[in-house]
Amino acid sequence: MKFKKRFGMLVIAAAVCSFAVALLSSGAVGQDEGWRIIRADYGSKTQRVDVTALTKALVARGGDGGKVPINNITMGGDPAVDQDKWLRIEARGRRSEEREFTFKEHTYLEVRLFDVRHEDADDRPANYGGRDRDQDDNAGLRIVRAYYGVQGRTVDVAGLLRDRIRGNTLSLVVTNGAMGGDPAIGYDKVLIVVYRVQGRETATAVPEGNTLTIP
């Protein structure tokens, strides 16, 4: 009887363990992947700027080998010179739970952690360039969004770049004159461009004085 009782207890314990493992495993998927980005900012403890749209765009394009490097170039500028900086992301899980992610400058963000929907990563007007038509996305070069300046002091130059496209290519030297003015006098500026070529979305960052050539 004692053996049967002990054996029965072991069976129950094993079942409980299996249930716990299954429960934790299913929960881990929801907690470790598939988070939807609600807000993102970049900077130091006291100087931070909003990079929500830029972060979504970088994640949506898949990064480089599934990773997005966190630095002043990919984040569009340096909001806190000579200070330690972090990318902070507020995200919502599949069960509406919320979580904050932080990534230190010069580290990497794992793209697989986040789920960026197409509409989240594309802020073009609904009727621009046939946004809702797959065949138009495959037609050639499309500028999704573009910003020029430093963090907290940028100008939207998407329209300007669209006008400079010739034969599905775009090439220009990034200067204040070419960008329509100087949004941050005395600062080294960066041009951030998110674009599509043959339906594939990509992002690039070009420092002032360098040449942008896409594709």
By C-alpha distance, which of 119, 89, 120, 123 is closest to 104? 89
Q: What is the pLDDT of residue 90?
A: 95
Per-range mean pLDDT, top range of 46-55, 121-130, 172-181: 172-181
Q: Are 131 and 143 a contacting pair, CB within 8 Å?
A: no
The three-point CA angle 54-98-83 to 5° equals 50
Read off the pLDDT of residues 1-11 as tens digits, 9 standing for 90 and up: 544 444 444 44
Could you tell me if residue 68 is inside a domain? Answer: yes
- What is the residue range of 89's domain? 36-118
In this structure, what are the phi and psi dihedrals at residue 92, rounded to the nearest 5 degrees?
Answer: -120, 135
Among candidate residues 64, 85, 118, the one where a domain is terminated = 118
pLDDT digit string, tens, across residues 78-121? 888 889 999 999 999 988 899 999 999 999 999 999 987 654 54
What is the pLDDT at residue 88?
Answer: 96
| Kind and range of the H or E run holding 185 | none
Answer yes or no: do 90 and 132 share one domain. no
Answer whether residue 31 is part of any domain.
no
Query: What is the rounded average pLDDT of the residues 125-144?
Result: 53
Q: Tell me how far apart the alpha carbons of residues 194 and 197 are, in angstroms, rounded to a whole number.
A: 10
Q: Which of 90, 118, 146 is the last residue of a domain?
A: 118
Helix (H, G, I), strand (E, B) or coil at 46: coil
- Residue 54, token pair as written in the block: 């830029």
In whole angstroms, give the CA distance from residue 176 to residue 162: 17
Q: Is residue 50 part of a domain?
A: yes
Mean pLDDT, the chain, rounded, equals: 76
Is the confidence at residue 180, as pLDDT, over 60? yes
Nearest CA to 183 out of 148, 208, 212 is that of 148
For the chain, how many structural domains are there in total? 2
Q: In the listed set 76, 96, 118, which residue is the last one of a domain according to the structure?
A: 118
Residues 99 and 154 both lie in one domain: no
Q: Judge whether 30 lies within some domain.
A: no
pLDDT at 127 over 80: no
Q: What is the distance, to the nearest Å, from the Cα of residue 92 to the centroid of all Cα atoms in its chain?
A: 15
Taking the model in full, what pTM does it have? Answer: 0.50
Judge if 82 and 148 occupy the same domain.
Answer: no
Q: Are residues 86 and 67 in the same domain?
A: yes
